[in-house]
Chains A and B, each alone.
Chain A
């Protein structure tokens, strides 16, 4: 069964740091692009960051320079290092697998999410 399980969420003070992890199973992780998507409570979805199979990374403007995405293929794991956290980073963070069909990319597998709360 293809599965993504996030961990590492929690309560952190503004300006603090947190590292999210995502454990992948059921597919060949090293051949998949992987992304993070977040959702504040009661709001819509926001794409956060992605890393492709070559290690190239992409970020939303809102997190550029504060968040760092990385992957460890030998451990089938994806990470999101979040620094200088702000109240507006409070959200459920989803780990997602990105599948490519020809020139089309889509997020076909989602984790259950981990909650990050930034508050004093």
Chain B
């Protein structure tokens, strides 16, 4: 199985900060990397597919990059509604696997 490792596991930031989350795959997944946002008590929300393509309606302050085994999710200017947990997920091969999550908290 492909292991997905996110770093950091948690971070504290302020409104307006730039935030970057890293996701690494244990083997090449080419560009088959998705990102999700989850707020407490809610279902995950899909943000980005194919490493860098934003879902319709996702604010442009979110961006994704990377390929093969190394990927990043960036938020250019953190907004109050962005405080949440973020997960990466590979859909390159079954079984699909998620990273362990990165909690973005208010500093």
Contacts and interface: CB of A to CB of B under 8 A. Distances in A.
Assign chain A's interface to a size class.
Answer: 20 to 34
B69 interface: no
Q: Which label, helix, strand, loop or mixed, suits the secondary structure of the B interface?
A: loop
Given A44-B87, A46-B98, A106 B49 contact: yes
Contacts of A110: 43-46
B32 A104 contact: yes
Interface of B: 1, 31-32, 34, 36, 38, 43-46, 49-50, 53, 55, 87, 89, 91, 94-101
Contacts, number: 63
A71 to B, nearest CB: 17
B12 to A, nearest CB: 19
A61 B91 contact: no
Interface centre among B1, B38, B43, B91 (most CB of A within 10 A): B43
A108 B1 CA distance: 23
A47 B98 contact: yes
Nearest to B101: A44
A61 B99 CA distance: 17
Interface in A16-43: 35, 37
Contacts of B89: 45, 47, 107
Interface of A: 35, 37, 44-47, 50, 58-61, 94, 101-113
Best-buried of A94, A101, A103 by chain B (most CB within 10 Å) = A103
Given A44-B87, A45-B44, A104 B49 contact: yes
A112 B43 contact: yes
Please list the 3 inter-chain residue pairs (A to B) with the smallest Cβ-Cβ separation, ordered nearest first: A106-B49, A110-B43, A47-B96
Contacts of B53: 101, 104
Given A44-B87, A61-B1, A104-B31, A94 B95 contact: no
B43 A94 contact: yes
Given A44-B87, A106-B49, A61 B95 contact: yes
B51 to A, nearest CB: 9
